[in-house]
Every structure is written in C-alpha cells, then in structure tokens.
Amino acid sequence: MPGNVNMMFDMLATSLPIAPGAQNGQSGSSPWAAPSASRRFPTFRTLAEAGVPGYRAVTFFGIVAPPLTPAVIADKINRDVVDSLKQPAAVEKISAWAWDVAPGSRDEAAKFFADERELWARSSSAPMFRMQ
C-alpha cells in the first residue's frame, strides 16, 4: 500500500501481506485490538499499550446449534469440534491463517457471546469517533 491508509481495522490474516514487518513478527506501528498479545506475534503491541486502554475488537467464528437442541447433542458436537481443532492438519491450516484458536466448553462460548453482546451494545450507544 502506498501509505494512503492512516488507520484501519482488519483481520490479521488479511493484513499480514500488507503490514510492514508483519511477516517476520515485527508490528511496526500497527497495534493489536485484542485485549492480550497475539500468541503468534507476541511482539505486537495491544491498543492498551499504544495508549487506548479498555478497547477490544476481535474477529471470531463460532459453531452454533439451533435453539432447543438437546444438551447431549450439543455437547457431542462441541467435543467433536474441539477434538477436530486439535488435529495436526487443522492446527497447521489455522496457524497459516494467523488465527488463534480458543476451543472450549459451551459455557465458555456462552460467556464470550454474552460479553461481546454487552460490549457492543454499550459501544453502539456512545459516539466513538467524531469527524471534524
């Protein structure tokens, strides 16, 4: 990119090819919007470290089942997905995409989704940026 973008929010996987120094693990001036450091790129600064405490924006993908799915079936799906994500071929592919995987329990997923809903409900009612 010829230097025309002052700021953008993007997934790491799509930003890696254009982020200066990202391929060798150097972040330059590009902070990380997650609340903690990247497992793959631990030298990337977080936005809190860059002077914007409390900000969090992460991209996530989840597998969900229809409402009223019996718990025994949902638990089996969860176990199978978590086990699949631990397979060497999956780990290799996911790592190539620069994703951090956080497979866990259904309760952990429910808490994460609830936290995200609360965060963005609060954020959507407050002006974040004002153009001058």
Give residue limits of the domains in the chain. Answer: 1-59, 60-132
Q: What whole-number distance in Å separates Cα of residue 50 and Cα of residue 30?
A: 9
| Mean pLDDT in order along the chain per 10 residues (132 residues) | 66 69 56 74 79 80 91 95 93 82 86 88 61 42
Rg of the chain on CA atoms, in Å: 18
pLDDT of residue 132: 42
Q: Which residues contact 112 (CB under 8 A, 6 or more apart)?
A: 60
pLDDT digits (tens, 9 = 90+) for 94-107: 887 777 788 789 99
Q: For the chain, what percent of residues have pLDDT higher than 70?
A: 73
Half-sphere exposure of residue 116: CA atoms within 13 angstroms, side-chain side: 13
